[in-house]
Amino acid sequence: MSELKDVITSYNSLSFSDRIVFYTTISNDMPLKDDLQSFLIETRLDSDSCIYCKGMHVVKNGKRKDGTQRYLCRCCRRSFIPSSDSITSRTRKSVSVWAAYLKCMLEQKTLKETSEECHISMSTAFTWRHKILDTLTELTERTYLTGIVEADETYFNVSYKGNHKRSRHFSMPRKAHRRGNDIRAKGLSSEKVCVPCAVNETGISYAEPGKPGKVSSECIKRVLGKKIAPNATLCTDRERAYQDLACTNELKLIQMDTDCRTTQKGGKTYDIQRINAYHSRLKTFIRKFHGVSTKYLGNYNVWNDLLSGNHRKTEEFIVQLWGQLLCARITRYGYDIPRRPPLPVTA
């Protein structure tokens, strides 16, 4: 019993990130061995179903040169290996490298720090970052904000960083800025991208780059319309665009002056403090990366949303998330990452 007590005492003294490593080592949800292939076979090919059509008629279909088992689905006639269409596809790193990588992401480490800690190249670290964030976007697609939802838009400078000058698909629409700081146009010009944001009372948040320039009804409806649950109460400043959103989505709307701390309605108190705090956290988070390219800004919003909200920091959540990330079927591939449009595609 004293050994158990020692373990509990040691566990309690661990930092949050070390607890994740501890959990990823002992949890049943996670592979016990450092062998990615056997973990993927156990989790993705459960009950021998096909990873594409979930058909049950899957047969072994020889091995690849490196010894990886190949499978064939007799229903959809597609051939696959355990890592096909997953974030680990075409990578040859072990589970522990992926676990260390996720730990770095949760600690908001830079690409340089991550590549040194995980012994991977900078370009691999970059690709993995966006593969994970793309997968997270897909996994959280059906998450809605319910209850009292505070919403407001914020702005980020448009950055064309990462779009190659000699690319056949991209030509710089303006002269390059030095480190993105010398934007001369005052106010909300097309040099800034509008990012509608929303956060609810339980701390679940959502933000996505809308389009360059001033906020519009279309931009708010496109970004927040799909994320706010029907019957939610929307609290905003006096911007007209939110009236259109509330009308279209049949939401109860409470609007107040920006400098007003709280407002009373029907015996209840409403405010927009939470969304203001969210904006300042988001700005601080983005600043850490010394200029984020607009084409990747959406992914950084997803990353920030993952980190904010206390309930999301429980070890159980991290383990589940980790298992889901490794097993999820992806629809956006690593080689497509640099080919994204430089600005958000507006509907």
Name the residues that contact Zn ion, by CB under 5 A: 50, 52-53, 55, 73, 75-76
Beta carbons within 10 angstroms of residue 109's beta carbon: 18
> Nearer Cβ to Zn ion, position 72 or 307?
72
Question: Least distance in Å: CB of 30 to Zn ion?
Answer: 27
DSSP string, 237-298: -S-THHHHHHHHHT-EEEE--TT---EEETTEEE-SHHHHHHHHHHHHHHHTTSS--HHHHH
In the complex, least distance from residue 58 CB atom to Zn ion, rounded to whole angstroms: 7
Q: Which of 196, 192, 207 is nearest to 152 (CA)?
A: 196
Q: Among residues 50 and 306, whose Cβ is nearest to Zn ion?
A: 50
Q: How far is the CB of 74 from Zn ion (least distance, A)?
A: 8
Q: In angstroms, what is the minimal distance from the CB of 9 to Zn ion? A: 50
Give the integer Cα–Cα distance in Å for 129 and 87.
10
Q: Kindly tell me which of 90 and 329 has the beta carbon lying closer to Zn ion.
A: 329
Q: How far is the CB of 86 from Zn ion (least distance, A)?
A: 15
Q: Considering beta carbons, is residue 52 or 170 the nearer one to Zn ion?
A: 52
Residue type, 103: K
Closest distance to Zn ion from the beta carbon of 333 (Å)? 19
State whether the Cα torsion 20-23-29-31 is positive or negative.
positive
- 115 token code pair: 């590549």
Please, which residue, 75 or 106, has the CB nearer to Zn ion? 75
DSSP for residue 212: B
| Residue 326 and residue 40 in contact, taking contact as beta carbons nearer than 8 Å | yes
Q: How far is the CB of 328 from Zn ion (least distance, A)?
A: 17
Residue nearer to Zn ion on the CB measure, 52 or 144: 52
Would strands 233-236 and 148-157 be described as parallel, antiparallel, or unpaired?
Answer: parallel
CA-CA distance, 234 to 255, in Å (whole number)? 8
Nearer to Zn ion, 61 or 258 (CB): 61
Residue 300's contacts (CB-CB under 8 Å, 6 or more residues apart) are 133, 285, 286, 289, 292
